[in-house]
Structures are given as structure tokens and as C-alpha cells.
Amino acid sequence: MSTTKNFRNKYLFHRMMHFIKGILFSLYYSYIYTKRKKTIIFNSACNQEFTWNAKSLFLHSKEKLEDLGFKVYFVINDKNKREYLTSIYGNYFICNKKKCNIIKIYTASVWILSTLETPCSGIFLNRKRFVYHLGHGTPIKNIGLCENNLGFLKKFFYLINRSNISLFLSSSAFFTKYMSNAFGVNEKKIIVAPQPRVEDLLNKKNLNFPFDVDKKYILYAPTWRHYENVKLFPYFENNIDYLNEVLKSLNVIILLRLHPRFETSLDKYIRTNILNFNSEICDDISDALYFTSGLITDYSSIYCDYLLLKKPVALLPYDLEKYTQEIGFSFQYQEIFPKKIINNNIDFINFCNDVSNNLFNITEQDNLAKKLNFIPNNCSSIDYNISIILKEYKKRWPSE
């Protein structure tokens, strides 16, 4: 419990320091020097990660945006990671520490974010700039101003961000009102659009992991809790060997995936048919979903994406009452989660059997997928988001 609490406090502290450092720069570039260049800056978590929706939109749109006259960059402050990405994709990656890069970022006309951390910090950052918040998941859990037990500093952070973001992406019209409340903004600042990472999810054809075509892989991806460590295989605590034998008989392999920041030792669970599928093996879990045959989670929004693959999903909410009290959900649990619930070891084994033998009925899941995910009919999720960027750019700079 102390580990998760310390992480939350450290993350909030990082956000606040990031904000304070940029106040003077942001005021200068928002009100004094307001010239903007035809440049788009992408970033993701803490300006350290190459993940989530910003990563997907960047990878699939950079050439198109360059053809339209934009310069494109992605902020990565980790030097080793930046050099590695540059070796693969080219000279797109910059840090926000050097003066020349700070100027480049603040004079850019468009910022694209995976999280609320901006490429450079401050206030009034959406003035003379289009700042597009893509998010990094479907808001099934309480977020922002709707969080339970919201502290003063966190509330202040969310309120300040109202002056920084131009538009927030909502993955479905179903979530529009909730997101308006969560971020404390008018519904006009919420735009329904497909998450860019859907493009990777539906079209991923290669991953550097030895998937055996003769086996079925089930991803087991519980979410982290700030109030205690997650309990893995709660209905098999002293029977992991038995579970492994059952999985062998079903020709099923469980890929065990924890939150990247809490990948503690899993040795007690690892067996021939239960594998550690951590971030060193697969940096972005979205890249692996296409190759699996089923998903077990509890409250992670990963299932919202997974529904689009038309594959079986089961929930293992062993501490639902506690989780609801501590964190809570954007809607009633029954409204937004699949109906397949694992309540005991028999349910767990039956789900694995259904996946192994293709017995799972996904009709109910298809209806839920449409409810939680907007997917355009006439274009890709990437082109849809590019059209939003171009429309907003032309609003601000119509003569260009």
C-alpha cells in the first residue's frame, strides 16, 4: 500500500513542479510573444514515455502532416530513450530542457497530448495555440474533478488545466457529459472522436514475442490500487500448480501483466503456462492485444479497446465494494462493464475453457463496444483526428 501511495504523491509532486517551472515562460508566450510556427509537438506521460494515443497518432500521421507543411516533434526527456527512438524513426525527438527546444515548443501552433502533462508547462497554454488532449484510455473510473477524496493540490491542478487544453477527446458520446464534469469545462470543449491507438489495435500484424499459433493466449491484466497491492489469482492462492496443469490441458497460456510502475517479483506465480508479460517484453500493451485470444481484468479500461477485437472478456472484481468506495466509476458498474464475471476458481477455469474451444458468445460485448467506442465509418481513426487538427488550425490561422 505504501508503494502505491508514494507513487501517487510523487506523480502529483512532479505535475506541480512541472507546472510551476513554466509559469513565466507560458505568460510570456501567451501574451507578449504570440507568433506561432507551423509546428506540432507531441508528448506522453511526464514527457518521458513514447506511449498511448500520442504515440499512435504521431507514428501514423507524421508523414501526412509534413506533407501539409507542418514540422513534427515528440518530447522525450530520457536521453537514452530519445537516442534509441531517433535511431528507429529519425530526428523527431527532442527534450524540453534546452533553450532552443523550449522556444521551439512554446512557439508551436499545435500540441498533442496523451496526458494532462503538457510539452512545456504553465498556464493559458491554449492561448494562440491548439492543445488537443487525446487521453490514454476510456474514462470508466473516476477521473479529474470527479475523483473520490480529491485533495486541494490535485483539484487546483485540474482547475488550472482548464486554461491549457483546447479540446478533450471523448471516445464516445456516452462519456461527453461525464468528461465535461471531470475536467470542469463546457461540453463544447469535449469532442467525440476515435482514439488513435485503435488503428494499431485493429491492424497490428507484428510483435517481437514468440506467440505459438497452436496455443491460445489470455492476457491477465489487473489494474493497480492505491490502497493495497493487487491480489493475483485470488481464487488459486495455494493452487497455482493445479491451475497450471489445467491450462496445459486446455492449451492455454496466461500472460500476466501488471501496471508498468508496479512490476514486482512474480516468481511465485510463473509456470510453464503462466508467463510474466512485463513492459520489458512489451513496452505498450496495446501492441499485444491483437495476438491474444481473451482478456481477464478487473477495472482496467483496457477492456474497452479489447471489445473492438470481438474476443472474449471476463472480469475478476474480487474487491469491487472496496474499489468503488476508494476510487469509484464514472457510471454504475453494470452500465459500462461486460457481464462475464469470475467469482471463483470454477468460473476462471470455465472462461479459459470457453476461450480454448471458441465457445464464448460475444453478442452482448458487441453492443457494449459500440456504446463505449466511436468508430467512424468512412475513414481511419488517424485521418479523423488529423481532420480535427486541421480544422482547429485553420480556425486560428485562416490565411495559412
Contact 131, 164 (CB under 8 A): yes
Interatomic CA distance for residues 342 and 106, integer angstroms: 49
pLDDT digits (tens, 9 = 90+) for 65-103: 999 999 999 999 999 999 999 999 999 999 999 999 999
Predicted confidence at residue 342, as pLDDT, reads 99
pLDDT digits (tens, 9 = 90+) for 13-46: 666 676 777 899 999 999 999 999 999 999 999 9
Predicted confidence at residue 295, as pLDDT, reads 99
Mean pLDDT of 218-239: 94
Q: Is the pLDDT of residue 11 over 80?
A: no
Domains of the chain: 2-195+377-396 (3.40.50.11820), 202-372 (3.40.50.12580)
Interatomic CA distance for residues 388 and 278, integer angstroms: 35
Q: pTM value?
A: 0.91
Q: Is the pLDDT of residue 7 over 70?
A: no
